[in-house]
Amino acid sequence: MHLLKLRIGSWRFAPTLWPTLAALFFFALTLALGNWQSGRAETKRALQARYDAALREPPIHVGGSLLDRASVRYRTLEARGVFDDAHTILLDNRVMNGVAGYHVLTPLRIDGSATAILVNRGWVAAGRTREQIPLPPVPAGRVRLEGMAVDPHTRYVELAHAAPQGRVWQNLDFARYASASGLRLQPVLLLQTSAQNDGLQRRWPRPDSGVGMHVGYAFQWYSLATTLAILWLVMNVKRQRAGDVNSTPRNTI
């Protein structure tokens, strides 16, 4: 059953009902998915703007009161205290510039309080063998640190329930670390940006809300919708053959 029959010169356009309805359904579906991803990208752009603005705000001083994780995320924090090297852990399989190594996490006991904040002090290269565990120096005495606050529950995900091997952990389980250390921890992880003579490298990536991912998905869905429309047109346009009586169109342009 043809919806219409049009002819332009020797070309005939005669789409049929069911293939047209199917094409229309999938075109509308892919277009809607593209619009949804575009909307998500706009939301993430606004979130990225807040992240960038947070980095420009003055540092927040960390004291004994527990911070609100959501309000300080990606803000610069300033803390004073003493490092507790007894509870240092090394996060395994952290790669920088193609070299395997560890992230060194040490809690900082905050001056004048019973709380501590877990600090990712930076990256150190692994030894030549798995048995050679690096021991980066820990600053002695009271220190003042600045760094960026991140959510440890989202930045580090426990992929397997592998037991830590001494100081070496595969991933950070924040609740397990707090229980094992017995420390009252601030609910954020501090990515240290302050320079210290400890041989660690601190190159933290800019906070990314994922705008590019949603833009890419939207482009794919819009491309698929365009492809469906082009295929529908191509499959319904045919050349009129000379002497083909059955192909005589109802409408002629």
Strand 76-83 to strand 115-125: parallel, antiparallel, or no bridges (unpaired)? unpaired
Give Cβ neighbours of residue 146 (< 8 Å, ≥ 6 apart): 59, 76, 77, 78, 192, 193, 194
* One domain for residues 80 and 187: yes
What total number of domains does the chain contain? 2
CA dist 225 and 120 (Å) reads: 46
pTM passes above 0.85: no
Which residues, 6 or more positions from 52, have their beta carbon under 8 angstroms from its beta carbon? 207
Burial of 74 (0-12, 13-18, 19+ CB in 10 A): buried
Q: Is 206 domain-assigned?
A: no
Same domain, 153 and 112: yes
Instruction: Tell whether 108 and 163 lie within a shared domain.
Output: yes
Task: Identify whether the C-beta of residue 19 lies closer than 8 Å to the C-beta of residue 228.
Answer: no
Within-domain flag for 110: yes
pLDDT in tens, the chain (253 residues): 656 677 777 777 778 888 888 999 999 999 999 999 999 999 888 878 877 887 788 889 999 899 998 889 889 999 999 999 999 999 998 998 899 999 999 999 999 899 999 999 999 998 888 778 888 889 889 999 999 999 887 544 444 455 556 789 988 889 899 999 999 999 999 999 998 888 899 988 887 778 899 999 999 999 999 999 999 888 888 876 655 545 444 444 4
Q: Which structural domain, as residue segments, surrounds residue 20?
A: 6-44+211-247
Residue 217 lies in a domain: yes
pLDDT tens string 38-92: 999 998 888 788 778 877 888 899 998 999 988 898 899 999 999 999 999 999 9
The pLDDT value recorded for residue 228 is 93
Do 184 and 239 lie in one domain? The reply is no
Per-residue model confidence (pLDDT) at position 76: 92
Tell me: do 179 and 220 sit in the same domain.
no
- Residues 119, 187, single domain; the answer is yes
| pLDDT for residue 219 | 95
The answer to whether residues 93 and 178 belong to one domain is yes
Based on the fold, state whether residues 31 and 112 are members of the same structural domain. no
Looking at the domain assignment, is residue 1 inside a domain? no
Backbone angles phi, psi at 211, to 5 degrees: -60, -45
pLDDT the model gives residue 244: 57
3-state helix, strand, coil in the chain (%, to 5): 35, 30, 35
Looking at residue 183, what is its pLDDT?
94
Kindly state whether residues 39 and 83 are assigned to the same domain.
no
The verdict on 187 and 215 lying in the same domain is no
What integer pLDDT is reported at residue 235 of this predicted model?
Answer: 86
Q: Are residues 126 and 221 in the same domain?
A: no
Exposure of 113 in the CB half-sphere (CA atoms within 13 A): 19
Q: Identity (one letter) of the amino acid at 65?
A: S
For residue 120, being part of any structural domain is answered with yes
**Residue 108: which of 134, 143, 74, 73 has the closest Cα?**
143
And the tokens for 224?
Answer: 């698929």
Domain co-membership, 184 together with 103:
yes
